[in-house]
Structure formats: C-alpha cells, structure tokens
Amino acid sequence: MAKEKPDYYDADIVLRLYEMRREEVMRQSRSAINGQYWPKNYDDLAALTKPDHPLNAAFRQVSSYWEMVYGMAANGIVNAEYLMESNGEGLYLYAKVLPYIEQYRKEAFPVAYRQAEWVSQNTEGGKRMLTMFTGRIKTVLETRVTIP
C-alpha cells in the first residue's frame, strides 16, 4: 500500500539514505560507476558483471543500494514522490543499462533493476529523471572520443 503523503518517518528514512551515500567506499563506488562506466552494447554490461572487471565491486554496491532504496518506494515503506525529490541518482545507472536490460534479464539476472523500473514508471519524479538521464547519456556516448 503506497503512502499518500510523506511524514516524519519518510524524512528520517531519506536522511538515513543520504548518510549511507556519504560513506567513503560508497562515494568512491558511485563516482566510479557514474563517471567511468559508459556501456555501448550488451557485452559492456555483461563484462561489468564478471568478478575480475575493475568496476565490478562498485557496480554491485551501487546497483544493489539503489534497488534497495527504490524497493522502499515500490513497497510503500516510504512515499515514492518524496523519495524521488532527492534520490534520482540510481536512475542514472538504470538509464545506462536500459538499452540492454531485456537481454540482461534473459541471460543473467531476471529481476535486475525491477525497482528502478518501478520508480521510473510510477512516479512523476522518476519519469522526469529517467528522461533527463537518458538524454544526457545519449549525448555523452555520441560525443565521447575513444582513445586507443
């Protein structure tokens, strides 16, 4: 059952989530995934999931964190619109993998990004952020210069 209006408990959860994002290893992981990971095809996503990939640990930490956060909204633990006012960053990673998500679900992890998908389809904030991030990522991928 979704929460219709945010209350003190929602604010407390959102503040705790913010504190968790500030933890040093999490900051490093978020920085690595947000700045260094630019998949151009499914193979780039599949490679990232291998334990020997340099960004694998960061990927697992960041993706599982945001799925946990968005799961709170999807399951009515926190008001979804209120959460999305300050917690859209997870949709940045989701937008990066979205072009390959069906193949990833089929070949590797059937429930991958279900919570990110939920907030991107069921909240106004999530819809706006996914559209914004998708546009940004497209621009970066189109203009990114590859140095051999």
Which residues touch 104 (CB under 8 Å, ≥6 apart)?
42, 45, 46, 97, 112
pLDDT tens-digit map of 74-96: 999 999 999 999 999 999 999 99
Q: Supply the pLDDT for residue 123.
A: 97
Taking the C-alpha atoms of residue 64 and residue 140, their distance in angstroms, rounded to an integer, is 25
Judge if pTM exceeds 0.75. Answer: yes
Average pLDDT over the chain reads 94
Q: Where are the domains of the chain?
A: 8-143
- Give yes or no for a contact between 120 and 94, defined as CB atoms under 8 angstroms apart: yes
